[in-house]
Structure 1
Amino acid sequence: MSARHAASNLELLAIYEVSKILGSSLDLQQTLREVLRLLSYQLQMHRGRIYLLGEDAVMRLVAANGLSNEQAGQVEFREGEGIIGRILKTAMPAVVPNLADEPLFLNRTGGRDDLEEQVASLVGVPIKAAGSVIGVLTIDRISDDGPTTHFGTDVRFLTMVANLIGQTVRLHRTVAEERRFMMRETFRVQKELRAAPPIADVVCTSPAMTDVLAQVHRVAPFKSTVLIRGESGTGKELIARAIHNLSPRKDNPFIRVNCAALPETLLESELFGHEKGAFTGAQKDHKGRFELASGGTLFLDEIGDISPNFQAKLLRVLQEQEFERVGGSRTIKTDVRLICATNLNLEEAVGKGKFRADLYFRINVVSIFLPPLRERRDDIGALAKHFVAKFNKDNGLTLALANEAQDVLNRCPWPGNVRELENCIERAATQSRDGIIRAVDLSCAMNLCNSSILFQYSTMGSAVGGLAPATAVHAAHSAAAPSPAPPPAKAMPATAPALPPILPSTAPSGCAACPSAPSAHAAPPSIPAPDPAEAAEALAEEPESGSLRDRLLWAMERTGWVQAKAARLLGMTTRQVSYALRKYDIEIKRF
């Protein structure tokens, strides 16, 4: 009784170990070999073999003790062939007490030439999944005293192991099928994109933008309303125009309205039109954009900036496709496809009551999100070369972009996105002297980076003029090129002469995106931050009143004519100090 109990405990432990092995790896063949090794080590089950049924209805050996993967791959059985084929056909376990007396034993795996010296028994069970046989598990029992008749325990135990193997194989095959499906879909989409007409001025190689273009091609043939979302400068209007050009409406008008650029009263007149005499200055009938775009596409940019009152008027047009002109009573029918765009968080605006939920659901039928440029850095190089080529074409030049300049561009977080990159390339092209745009030609090398200037006016987490929030840009900058935070600056006294006030922010002076770019005015990297005690002593000596020229001279002399140190003492940026020195014609001393 105790021996039987010990054997049961050993089998239970083996089942537990088998389950752990089956869930430990995605390599199915290696996992199955580990299971057979465990059976051999713990239960003395020799010559374990696992066969799996292929899609061609052939049973192949996939794991075997004592055989390499190449040797195992050459062994196969068909239904009804040998012992393995009989188990496959009958879906029932099979026990062969003595392989030497079994005519169905084909010995295809070799190694059984010793049957005259010892008795080898075989136990085989079907591997099932979802009620179907998908494989066979076999083991050998070796005895020197003749065949035994007690195989019931082995059959029961191996059936449990086979069930675990069956579920694992089914899971692996399901995952593999889903992976093949995804690969086929990816290949199909890429093939469609290659076969589809190119989208003008859309330059991209990143997977994120490839998905966006796939969405554009899928949604273009329909009339569904599209909401394009993304930060300012990501190319929302370009995508809207692409949807129109790929749609059946491409020969009809594409009308664009910037909702943020017009006050509510003027926006209503622009969209719906007005009758003669509707208000002062309305000297004749005026067709609105909904009327002009009939049969085509109307693109409402910055839809999130319209007032709550106008949202209600717009909702009716979207629902009924009809409206009245301002000052008129005649109902006008229209047939437009609406494409909207915004850089705002509409869900947050709905939650705060600033945007109507019913209008949100009406315009958010198909949503396309344009990722910011910092999240698709694979596109920066291609876009930069595209803008250089565009500048060359517009100006009849043959400029080239140096690798060093490209490296600097790749490190930038680009809060202004593609629009900012285009402007940066154009400014750098105008500074090029030898036909090559180098790193020193970029704005950040001259402390003139627009992003840096703008973000000095931003507070942490806020956005500047629709650009990326400062937190997002600084997080991207920290991940790409971490640098120590600048020391806190002393605020300008209230009596200081007027220069643009700079609010303290986490963005360092100059280009926060390109810390390693050379700068004409910034302090060299080797200059350390001033000692706190020394800074306090210096600030105590600072004149409390006087002209900006006197304060500049004091700061420059106090810091050894290093502009970056003087800027920190005065609570200014290096660029402001440089500008003030030129303005007051102060000659910089060289040591």
Structure 2
Amino acid sequence: MTRAALIEAELEALFRVGQVLSRSLKLQDTLQSLLQVLHDYAGMQHGMVTLRDHKGELSISAVYRGDRQAPSKVRYRPGEGIVGTILQTGQPLIIERIADEPRFLDRLSLYDPKLPFIGIPIHLADTAIGVLTAQPNNDGLLKDRTRFMEMVAQLVAQTVRLANEIEEQRRDLTDERDRLRRAMRGNYGFNNFIGHAPPMIRVFELVRQVAKWNTTVLIRGESGTGKELIANAIHYNSPRNSNEFIKVNCAALPENLLESELFGHEKGAFSGAISQHKGRFERAHEGTLFLDEIGDIPPAFQAKLLRVLQEGEFERVGGRRTLKVDVRIITATNVDLETQVEKNKFREDLYYRLNVMPITLPPLRERTEDIPELAQFLVHKLAKKQNRKLQIKDSAIRLLMRYNWPGNVRELENCLERAAILCEGEVIDRSIICLTGLEEKIPQASAQKIDLNDPNLDERERVIAALEQAAWVQAKAARLLNMTPRQIAYRIQRLKIELQHI
């Protein structure tokens, strides 16, 4: 081969090497393809790339012989054989006839003993991290061949650096994902369940049992009762907890978007579909899919949902290929599905497919004994969110227990957040709760008579309790406390109690 022909061949090879390096993020596959390019376009036969491992030894990352794959489990210590010598010295090694080299070990039975040999160290930040080797044709152009191999070695070094950075990022992301999953499992562990009312104890027992299996679960209850929390608890205490937990609010999406969101779509399936999109079912493969507000899905979509629940099969919108998934289904609704079935607004077969294991959450008004613990928990959560100290007094909790909470736990949390905002100090007491407007919503007939001699009451709570029982008539409240009107008026002023006018 003439020198001009060699330069042309090497330029073509470099172009194709660049294509190979930009095509895949899998290092071993990339290096294997690179060696094939060197063989096919540059006349560099029997190529091999070895990289330093965590022990400091060289292990083969890729090797190419053209007609067959060579063994790849051979290792070299620094200074061992030709390859080990190149790693140790960090210098290129050019041999005109490899059979004449006493350091040649021939462990791979790869090289032609009559041909030359070129070995180039792969450097990163002035450190040899590997070796690139190959055999050129015996054409007397070894210097040109060596310069070409040095350029390729530099490209390999940058590819290795990029692969290492990507691997490090992948490990960081994996570690962060695992940390978040551990945190989620901790947040939704059974020990974190709040509630000792009999209806909630039954719910918690059902969750413990159903979490072990892949059974479809239907969580029922009014808005704000914590249906999503229960769904999280089921997933993160199940054998699928290391896989995805995907949530969809079915009521928030119109029918055309719901199908694309759940099943995905192919590029060009509709206007705006500029690329392929994986749906929630695909993303939840081997994990859990939580379909919230399942009672609000359109009738036309119910048949499509039924098919994937029965068969585990679906097609992306605009696609023809049938996809299979293994997904656990948890659904939730505040709709009376039985009535919807009777009105032909919800498919009966879909209802039975979803209602395998129903779990019904009681409203907060049916478990008022849980309000003190819930209030303490939510105030602690608010304190962490607002980075401040907060506590709630018994007088505030007693007022919270007098309300029937139509918005359930969500409404309770909102009320306490308003109270925390209105509280200038660290203590949320009854007067702060009153500032939220809650007391105005409580019928007077629901007022509870409090023992004014209760030692747990502080002075302010005792005066407020007496005023409540006296319908906010100061003279009557003074008699209940064995005080004079003047004494109670002084305490109302000193304790900054806001009088109510009934």
TM norm structure 1: 0.44
Q: Is it true that 1:331 corresponds to 2:305 in the alignment?
A: no
Q: 2:291 aligns with which of 292, 296, 300?
A: 300
Which ranges of structure 2 fall in alignment gaps of 5 or more residues?
1-187, 449-464, 474-499
Matched AA of 1:410: M
Q: CA RMSD in A?
A: 3.0
Match of 1:400 in 2: 391
- 1:150-185 C-alpha deviation (Å, 9 max, x unpaired): xxxxxxxxxxxxxxxxxxxxxxxxxxxxxxxxxxxx
Matched AA of 1:421: L
Match of 1:447 in 2: 437
- Alignment map for 1:455-466 (pairs within 5 Å): none
Match of 2:229 in 1: 238
Matched AA of 1:308: P
SS at match of 2:401: helix
Alpha-carbon separation, structure 2, partners of 1:200 and 1:401: 23
TM norm structure 2: 0.51
For the Cα contact (< 8 Å) 2:419–2:436, is it kept in 1? Answer: no
Alpha-carbon separation, structure 1, partners of 2:383 and 2:411: 18
For the Cα contact (< 8 Å) 1:440–1:446, is it kept in 2? Answer: no
Alpha-carbon separation, structure 2, partners of 1:316 and 1:198: 33
Q: 2:366 aligns with which of 365, 368, 375?
A: 375
SS at match of 1:433: coil
Question: Between Structure 1 and Structure 2, how many residues are aligned?
Answer: 275
Matched AA of 1:388: V
For the Cα contact (< 8 Å) 1:392–1:399, is it kept in 2? Answer: yes
- 1:123-144 C-alpha deviation (Å, 9 max, x unpaired): xxxxxxxxxxxxxxxxxxxxxx
Deviation at 1:445, TM superposition (A): 4.0
Q: 1:315 aligns with which of 288, 295, 306?
A: 306
Deviation at 1:481, TM superposition (A): 4.6
Match of 2:355 in 1: 364
Alpha-carbon separation, structure 1, partners of 2:435 and 2:365: 20
- Alignment map for 1:154-553 (pairs within 5 Å): 198-199=189-190, 202-442=193-433, 444-447=434-437, 480-481=446-447
Alpha-carbon separation, structure 2, partners of 1:391 and 1:411: 22
Deviation at 1:231, TM superposition (A): 0.4
Alpha-carbon separation, structure 2, partners of 1:355 and 1:480: 40
**Structure 1 residue runs of 4+, over 4 Å off?**
477-482, 516-519
Alpha-carbon separation, structure 2, partners of 1:250 and 1:518: 53
Match of 2:131 in 1: none
Alpha-carbon separation, structure 2, partners of 1:379 and 1:436: 21
Matched AA of 1:447: G
SS at match of 2:246: strand
- 1:201-236 C-alpha deviation (Å, 9 max, x unpaired): 532122211111110110111111000000001110
For the Cα contact (< 8 Å) 2:418–2:436, is it kept in 1? Answer: no
Matched AA of 1:228: I
Alpha-carbon separation, structure 2, partners of 1:229 and 1:348: 14
For the Cα contact (< 8 Å) 1:209–1:371, is it kept in 2? Answer: yes
Which ranges of structure 1 fall in alignment gaps of 5 or more residues?
1-196, 453-473, 483-515, 527-562, 566-591
Alpha-carbon separation, structure 1, partners of 2:338 and 2:398: 37
Alpha-carbon separation, structure 1, partners of 2:430 and 2:329: 43
Deviation at 1:199, TM superposition (A): 3.1
SS at match of 2:340: helix
SS at match of 1:318: helix
Matched AA of 2:408: N
| Inter-CA distance 284–218: structure 2 relative to 1 (3 Å threshold) | same
SS at match of 1:392: helix
Alpha-carbon separation, structure 1, partners of 2:432 and 2:466: 10
SS at match of 2:314: strand
| Inter-CA distance 306–517: structure 2 relative to 1 (3 Å threshold) | farther
Matched AA of 1:244: H
SS at match of 1:412: coil
Deviation at 1:447, TM superposition (A): 3.2
- Alignment map for 1:31-46 (pairs within 5 Å): none
Deviation at 1:253, TM superposition (A): 0.2
SS at match of 2:270: coil
Alpha-carbon separation, structure 2, partners of 1:381 and 1:263: 40
SS at match of 1:411: coil
Alpha-carbon separation, structure 2, partners of 1:224 and 1:234: 22
| Inter-CA distance 312–376: structure 2 relative to 1 (3 Å threshold) | same
Deviation at 1:423, TM superposition (A): 1.1
Alpha-carbon separation, structure 2, partners of 1:384 and 1:525: 27
For the Cα contact (< 8 Å) 2:189–2:237, is it kept in 1? Answer: no
- 1:367-396 C-alpha deviation (Å, 9 max, x unpaired): 000001110112100010001111112222
Alpha-carbon separation, structure 1, partners of 2:192 and 2:228: 11
Match of 2:177 in 1: none
Alpha-carbon separation, structure 1, partners of 2:190 and 2:265: 36
| Inter-CA distance 240–518: structure 2 relative to 1 (3 Å threshold) | farther
For the Cα contact (< 8 Å) 1:233–1:417, is it kept in 2? Answer: yes
Matched AA of 1:437: I
Alpha-carbon separation, structure 2, partners of 1:215 and 1:413: 26
SS at match of 2:228: helix
Alpha-carbon separation, structure 1, partners of 2:254 and 2:244: 24
SS at match of 1:371: coil
Matched AA of 2:332: A
- Alignment map for 1:69-148 (pairs within 5 Å): none
Alpha-carbon separation, structure 2, partners of 1:425 and 1:385: 10
For the Cα contact (< 8 Å) 2:419–2:435, is it kept in 1? Answer: no
Alpha-carbon separation, structure 2, partners of 1:341 and 1:518: 45
SS at match of 1:256: strand
- 1:466-490 C-alpha deviation (Å, 9 max, x unpaired): xxxxxxxx9xx798459xxxxxxxx
Deviation at 1:446, TM superposition (A): 4.9
Alpha-carbon separation, structure 2, partners of 1:323 and 1:395: 45
- 1:489-508 C-alpha deviation (Å, 9 max, x unpaired): xxxxxxxxxxxxxxxxxxxx
